[in-house]
Amino acid sequence: MKILVIGATGYAGSRVCAALSREGHAVLGLTRDTASRAARALELAEVTPVAGDFAKPDTWRGHLDGADAVVHLLMDMADPYGGDQRLFAELTTAQERYGRRGHLVYTTGISSYGRTGSSLMDENTPGNPDSPLSFRFRLEQELAASGLPHTIVRPGFLYGGAATTSMTGQWFAAAEAGKPVFYGDTGKRWSWVHVEDLADAYVRILDNPAAVNGETFVIADEQRLRALDVQTAAVRAAGHAGEIALAPVEDGGMMQTAADQDELVTSAKVRRVLGWRPSHASITDAIDLHYYRAWKAAQPNG
């Protein structure tokens, strides 16, 4: 298959690109700068970097020609709602222009649920409309109504590898700076997934996308860990032996506010339908030997 990945140079996107390439797909990785270090890393993974700015559809519209699938792994923070609406419109127009129905794998996340009151959420749990990220559920609904062939992926909190946009990367950096802070409810628990295990889910979806058209999958491991306990393990791995300061969640910004509650999910559906299993049991397993060292190696002076 010919697959266009939007967000290809990002934390999850780079791993998804590489995983799809290993499966023999012809992968195009959308990037604003095809000469960047991140774009060159895509080439090492046998992915073809193609120029385009997601916020400017005219710069990437042509890459949809001949694409059997599009994987969307980017949230445009400047216009997160409108940007994805434009993506849906471009894909609809591309179907009419090229006479083929490419499959969209659309990524949101479990923080979109907000505070639901459910002890364990799944694909059928309604989201809280008051969540700062509730617009992502509205986008999912608009996608379903569009008639575009699609599959929706809701990952848990990511870890592993470069941890560029992972909470763990923020925690490692704050620990090294001697200023670790935990925001909000100290009792909240989150579901996590290793970035390579997430990439495997995309491979399985695109192995036979027609079989999962219209489906939604929650992707996470089975751990039920307190976020503060994970942060404590992370800062200790980074060599910080002192206290972690506690602060109001509002001080941490929108993403911290959106995640200030239990976010525990079950991935029973993706296990049953696609045979997916996480190969990484838990983020707290050897966090110092593996995950901190991987993050450290990815730093400019690592």
Domain topology for 2-163+191-222+264-280: Rossmann fold (3.40.50)
User: Which residues lie below 8 Å from residue 221, measured CB to CB, with a gap of 6+?
Assistant: 156, 191, 192, 193, 194, 197, 267, 278, 280, 281, 282
Give the helix/strand (H/E) hosting 198: helix 195-207
Look at residue 61 in the predicted model and tell me its pLDDT.
Answer: 95
Which tokens go with 56? 């400017």
Is 102 within 8 Å of 70 (Cβ atoms)? yes
Domain assignments of the chain as residue spans, ordered by start: 2-163+191-222+264-280
Residue 190 — left, alpha, or beta (φ > 0 → left; ψ -120 to 50 → alpha)?
beta
For residue 302, the model assigns a pLDDT of 61
Is the pTM higher than 0.85?
Answer: yes
**Per residue of the chain (302 residues), what is the pLDDT tens digit?**
999 999 999 999 999 999 999 999 999 999 999 999 999 999 999 999 999 999 999 999 999 999 999 999 999 999 999 999 999 999 999 988 877 789 999 999 999 999 999 999 999 999 999 999 999 999 999 999 999 999 999 999 999 999 999 999 999 999 999 999 999 999 999 999 999 999 999 999 999 999 999 999 999 998 999 999 999 999 999 999 999 999 999 999 999 999 999 999 999 999 999 999 999 989 998 898 899 999 999 998 76
